[in-house]
Structure 1
Amino acid sequence: MELKAYLSEEFDLEIGRFEAEGLLAAVLRLAGPHFYNAGLRDAQALLMRHVDDVNDGIDQLERRPEA
């Protein structure tokens, strides 16, 4: 498992498979919402850009009264 190897190499810490899985689960539980919310914000920004493009296209199609 890569997490076990990382902890061993970087911190000279030997842990078992179950401890590594528990640590990974805790990190995902704590950090997961941050990355999930960041993904939602990215999706929202992308959608807003597309909405702006559609609005620009509609504005270009709009007819103006002749002077």
Structure 2
Amino acid sequence: MSKIEFTAAETEQMVDKLQTYFESELNQELGQFDAEFLLDFFSKQMGAYYYNRGLHDARAIFESRVESIDDDIYAIEKEIR
């Protein structure tokens, strides 16, 4: 798996969400550097789980669509006498 990189704006949004969560749920202030460090940790240590789950979900959608196409193809088969 190649490294997933986010834009500066995406990173800023994720850091902001971490800081907001820490402040509202844990009553702790999380500085910019600490939030970026924590985001990096989660990305490296747990990101693959989310990535793989996304692939699994996409594969299930793909298989469902292929099955539907397969059913449609069988539906238009001509009877051979």
Question: CA 1:5–1:41 in structure 2 vs 1: closer, same or farther (change >3 Å)?
Answer: closer
1:21-61 deviations in Å (ceiling 9; x for gaps): 10111012222111111111111111111111111111111
Q: 2 CA distance for matches of 1:28 and 1:17?
A: 16
Unpaired runs of 5+ residues, structure 1, are none
In the superposition, the TM-score normalised over structure 1's length comes to 0.74
Identity level (%): 33
Q: Secondary structure at the match of 1:47?
A: helix
Match of 1:18 in 2: 33
**Counterpart residue type for residue 43 of structure 1:** A
Secondary structure of 1:64's aligned partner:
coil
Structure with the largest fraction of helix: 1
Gaps of 5+ in 2: 1-15
Specify the structure having the higher radius of gyration (Cα): 1
Matched with 1:54 is: 69
- Structure 1 stretches of 4+ with a deviation exceeding 4 A read none
Question: How far apart, in 2, do the equivalents of 1:59 and 1:40 lie?
Answer: 28
